[in-house]
Structures are given as C-alpha cells and as structure tokens.
Amino acid sequence: MPFIKVDVLREDLNREKKQQLIREISKAVTTVLNKDPHLTHIVINEIEDDNWGYAGEQVTVLKEQGFSTEKQ
C-alpha cells in the first residue's frame, strides 16, 4: 500500500489542481509500480513561504529578490 507525501509551497494550488496532482500521481504509481490505485494514499502538505528555505534563504526573501517557482 503506497503512501505518498507531497510537500508544496502554498501558492495557486486550488482544488482542481490538487485533484489533478492526486490523479496523476496515482496513475504513475499504478503504471510504474503496478499498485492498486484504491490502496494508494496521497497527502499534500502546503507549506507557507516563510517556512521553506532554499540556498540558505526563506522563500519569502527569495521571491522578494525575483525568485519564481514557475517553470521557465
């Protein structure tokens, strides 16, 4: 029984995007690991920018300096 935990920044992750993420992860686990999707558990943890650090800085500070999490 797979248990998948996804940590993401709390941004523009609305209900529809969360559902899509859960669906796509479930599909990948079914395809790659041959696991029953009804036994696959996925938890999405949304983390505030102040509580996430990267390269020695808070994401809040990095965003103030122009850092973006969007795909270039």
- The residues annotated as belonging to the active site are 2
Residues in the chain: 72
Cα–Cα distance measured from residue 11 to residue 49, given in angstroms and rounded to the nearest whole number: 9
Q: Helix, strand or coil for residue 69? A: coil
The torsion angles phi and psi of 42, rounded to 5 degrees, stand at -130, 130
